Amino acid sequence: MKKNYLLAVVLTLPLALFANGQINTWYAGTTYIGTVETAGLVWNCSGGTCTLKGSYGDGLNMAVCQELSRKVGGLSYYYNDTGMVWSKTKNAPLLEQCNGE
């Protein structure tokens, strides 16, 4: 039970708390076009993918994912260039939680 609680806490902390100085890129699948701010982070959305670059760590953040999903109408995937993936085929329950399903 403690492991699940700790995971939930880590997944909801602001992404900036995990900063490591390394520049990474996050990707989120949506048809939205424009810029979107989540937790002080600015995503650039091209109508197929939203991207975010910065030194915010190397994980995926549930709170950021959920806020982005609410603002753009749901995500078809959420991943980063370190190999972490939430999609319909990989870690589907996390993507569903992100989308509030």
What DSSP assignment string belongs to 32-100? -EEEEEETTEEEEEESSEEEEEESS-SS--HHHHHHHHHHHT--SEEEETTS-EEESSSSHHHHHHHTT
Q: How do residues 48-98 score in pLDDT, each as one tens digit? A: 999 999 998 889 999 999 999 999 999 999 999 999 999 999 999 999 999
Position 75 in a domain: yes
pLDDT at 39: 87
Domain that holds residue 22: 18-98
Q: What pLDDT does 13 receive?
A: 46
Q: What is the mean pLDDT of residues 27-49?
A: 96
In a domain, 2, yes or no: no
The tally of domains found in the chain comes to: 1
Confidence of residue 20 (pLDDT cuts 50, 70, 90): low
In a domain, 51, yes or no: yes
pTM for the structure as a whole: 0.78
Q: Is residue 1 part of a domain?
A: no
User: Does a structural domain hold residue 85?
Assistant: yes
| Residue 65 within any structural domain of the chain | yes
